[in-house]
Amino acid sequence: MSLKHNLVQISDTHLFSDKNLSLKGSNTYSNLKKTIEAVSRLKEKPELVLLTGDLSQDYTPESYKHLKELLEPLKIKYYLLPGNHDDVRIINKVFQYNWVKDQVDYSFEYNEWFFYFIDSTVFPNNWGELSDKQLIDFDKMISLKKNIPIIVFMHHHPVPVRSKWIDEMALKNADAFNKIIRKNPQIKAVLFGHVHQVFEEIIDGVFYTSAPATSYQVVPRVDNFAVEKLVPGFKFISLQDNKFSSKVIWV
């Protein structure tokens, strides 16, 4: 039996420059602070923290500085992806990245796993889309990794979550993306944020799942936007022996 690796997915933090501001009734700064504290108390220590977009709500350098300051004390390596509420130019300044707008794709091997982060944003639109180049690069890279389990991380949802209002802001060219996913059974899970609700479904043999937001959750499977829960949550992921498992932890 191989070593178990634990990860945490945090999503949709929606921070403001002003730590006292609320979004839909939630103070997003204190929600993230509580979430990070809960992560630091986990008995099974995560090795990585993965943030799947909508880091900021107001595109300010201060909002990203708050994120950085909240993450640093964890002393756990973290990886970010932009969401539709993020400005890559500002993220680059605060985190000293060299990201290119709408093309923040990167991947790496992690122990016996392979992680692919794909940038679904099309700044400044709310919906997502992948360029032809992104799809080609993704297809090429994944085909080279036939014998290693893969997890794909993204912001927008590539499958409908059956809420009309948010499905209108899904990944536009999801069919092209899912076609690549389907022909690569070594892809164990596709993880996303954006939907502010927990979604877990096996579709065509692939596990599609979202992390809850740390900011606020919405009522799932309804046509119109409605806030459901104000408590933050995150996803705890375990990888062992080619097997992906995850659970939601409410804070």
Minimum CB distance to Fe ion smaller for 54 or for 105? 54
Interface contacts to Fe ion, rule CB under 5 A:
12, 54
Q: Kindly state the smallest distance separating residue 54's Cβ from Fe ion, in Å.
A: 3
Residue nearest to Fe ion (CB): 54
The least distance separating Fe ion from the CB of residue 41, rounded to whole angstroms, comes to 25
Nearer to Fe ion, 187 or 195 (CB): 195
**Shortest spacing between CB 144 and Fe ion, in angstroms:** 32
Q: What is the DSSP string of 143-206?
A: HT-TTS-EEEE-SS-SS--S-HHHHTTSBTTHHHHHHHHHT-TTEEEEEE-SSSS--EEEETTE
Smallest separation (angstroms) from Fe ion to the CB of 213: 6
DSSP string, 95-110: HT----TT---EEEEE
Helices 61-71 and 28-40 cross at an angle (nearest 10°) of 20
Interacting residues of 87 by C-beta distance below 8 A, sequence separation 6+: 56, 59, 123
Residue with Cβ nearer Fe ion (122 or 176)? 122
In this complex, which beta carbon is closest to Fe ion, that of residue 46 or of residue 82?
82
